[in-house]
Amino acid sequence: MQFTKGHGAGNDFVILEDPDGQLPLTPSLVAALCDRHRGIGGDGVLRVVRTAKHPEAVDHAADAEWFMDYWNADGSIAEMCGNGVRVFARYLAASRLVEGASFPILTRAGLVRAVLVGDTIAVDMPTPRLGAAGAATIVPLTFPGTAVDVGNPHLVSVLPDGVDLDSLDLTRPPGFDPALFPAGVNVEFVTPQPPLDGFDLHVRMRVYERGSGETLACGSGALAVAAVALRDAGHETGTVAVDLLGGRLTATRTGAGWTLAGPAVLIATGEVDPSALTPAG
């Protein structure tokens, strides 16, 4: 099985090109591929499949040629991946599966458009929808937060003064209210940062991702964090610098919608023998 490995701000993916949707991809194969000791290793899998050839996407075949079939490292499926979609775009362009520097991609959270500008890729993302108040627990502490829907679910918690972002133990999943997030949630912890030239707001965040654990970056999470930061600052629009363990992402809200910009890098290609992988679980 041919694969490519890539990452966006350290959020890393195994990319499988499967234009006709014929790969027998299963949760256990995805988990085995993403295993960092016995597999290739990754926070998730991006299957590159023609929209016309995927049952979840075929109705939108006229809107985009390619569908991002995204899987988390544990083999679960998610609606959106903000870093994944940039890496997906980089792969499409590098493999000459698309023409030009701007093209649509179908995701489970809807149609987006990627624009390639040098090392950076900007994607017009789903508008984050702010929801109910919630809370994230890292025993013995509980942090109030806000539910944010970016196509996938997020819980954004701005840390109170005196709590050091770097001190949080994210080796285990933070607790959350399952009634508020019946399908699970990605949990972001945030601290405001000093102003930065060229940005309206500047924050740092760490994330515990549903299905993948703590990752170096989460693009949809950065968008959720930016939406909360703009709300808290009383801004209708603006550009937010979001610093993550793996680097900086830029989230911008204009009157026309939201854009997420950042790096996307392909680092390797190879061949993996699925029969040599250790089944997950």
Ligand X SMILES: N[C@@H](CCC[C@H](N)C(=O)O)C(=O)O
Q: Which of 14, 121, 218, 261 is catalytic?
A: 218
Identity at 85, one-letter amino acid code: V
CA end-to-end distance (rounded Å), the chain: 22
Looking at beta carbons only, is 52 or 113 nearer to ligand X? Answer: 113
CA distance 85 to 255: 23
Which residues in the 23-62 window bind ligand X by CB under 6 A? none
**Count of residues that interact with ligand X, criterion CB under 6 A:** 18
65 in a known ligand binding site: no
Q: What distance in Å separates the CA atoms of residue 257 and residue 195, rounded to the nearest whole number?
A: 23
Q: Is 21 annotated as a binding residue?
A: no
Q: Is residue 39 a known part of a binding site?
A: no
Most distant CA atoms of the chain, gap in Å: 55
- 87-146: contacts with ligand X (CB under 6 A): none
Token output for 92: 């499409």
Residues 72, 77, 78, 81: what is their CA dihedral angle, to the nearest 10 degrees?
Answer: 40
* The three-state (H, E, C) secondary structure of 25-66, written as one string: CCHHHHHHHHCCCCCCCCCEEEEEEEHHHCCCCHHHCCCCCE
With tokens 């093209």, the residue in question is: 103
Instruction: Find out whether 209 is annotated in a ligand binding site.
Output: yes
Choosing from 4, 11, 146, 239, the residue that interacts with ligand X (CB under 6 A) is: 11
Quick one: which of 15, 25, 78, 168 contacts ligand X (CB under 6 A)?
Answer: 78
CB contact at 8 A, 231 and 203: no
Shortest reach from residue 42's CB to ligand X, in Å: 11
What is the closest distance, in whole angstroms, from the C-beta atom of residue 212 to ligand X in the complex? 5
Residue 34 falls in the annotated catalytic set: no
**15-51 exposure pattern, b = at least 16 Cβ within 10 A, e = fewer:** bbbbeebeeebeeebbbbbbbeeebbebbbbbbbbbb
Q: How far is residue 125 from each of residues 117, 144, 231, 258, 277, measured CA to CA in Å?
A: 17, 26, 18, 6, 35
Using CB under 6 A, pick the residue from 84, 126, 145, 262 that binds ligand X: 84
Contact pattern for ligand X over residues 194 through 223, marking x by CB under 6 A: ---------------xxxx--x--xxxx--
The catalytically annotated residue of 9, 29, 48, 81 is 81
- Binding to ligand X (CB under 6 A) within 55-74 occurs at 72
Binds ligand X (CB under 6 A): choice among 186, 239, 252, 259? 186
Residue 167 annotated in ligand binding: no
Binding track, positions 141-180, relative to ligand X; x by CB under 6 A? -----------x----------------------------
Question: Is 234 marked as a binding-site residue?
Answer: no
- Cα angle value 144/147/148 (rounded, 5°): 135
Query: Would you name the residues annotated as active-site residues?
Result: 81, 218
Which residues does the annotation place in the binding site?
11, 72, 82-83, 152, 186, 209-210, 219-220
Binding site for ligand X (CB under 6 A): 11, 72, 78, 81-84, 152, 186, 209-212, 215, 218-221
Instruction: Please state the residue numbers annotated as binding site for substrate.
Output: 11, 72, 82-83, 152, 186, 209-210, 219-220
